[in-house]
Amino acid sequence: MNAEKNRLLLRFEQLLRETNREIINPEINVLSIEDLKPVVEMVARARAAYLKALYELAVSHKKDQSLPSPTEMEGLQTLRTRFLDLADGAKSIEVAIQREYLDIKH
């Protein structure tokens, strides 16, 4: 039973790899490190905006030791969500390269 299960899992992994490559690869040109720079820069800008807003929020509430208002928290959450979504996207590109779903320039 274990041998059958292992064979099935190996075939499933191969199917995942082949299917992802077939569908993802035609959608994105062959990538170089320079092609990836805009993605990394965008993630860094989103991270900077989120961290700056957090810092400025903390400074603005330091004097009276209050907590952010619901409106301030909504703004921070928007920045955080944007950063995390972009960071997850960049990580997904990294994984796609590692798993050879995308071609890279050597």
Question: What is the per-residue pLDDT across 9-48, written as a single tens digit (0 to 9) for each?
Answer: 999 999 999 999 999 999 999 999 999 999 999 999 999 9
Q: What is the pLDDT of residues 51-64, one digit of tens each?
A: 999 999 999 999 99
Q: Which two tokens stand for residue 55?
A: 């810092």
C-alpha triplet 16, 36, 12: angle, nearest 5°: 5
Q: If pLDDT is split at 50, 70 and 90, which confidence band does 106 have?
A: confident
What's the mean pLDDT in 64-78? 96
Q: Which two tokens stand for residue 41?
A: 């820069």
Q: If pLDDT is split at 50, 70 and 90, which confidence band does 73 have?
A: very high
φ/ψ bin of 19: left (φ > 0), alpha (ψ from -120 to 50), beta (otherwise): alpha
Provide the sign of the torsion angle of the four alpha carbons 12, 16, 22, 23, taken in this order: positive
The long-range contacts involving 66-71, CB below 8 angstroms and separated by at least 24 positions, are: none
Cα 97 to Cα 105: distance, rounded to the nearest angstrom: 11
Q: If pLDDT is split at 50, 70 and 90, which confidence band does 1 have?
A: low
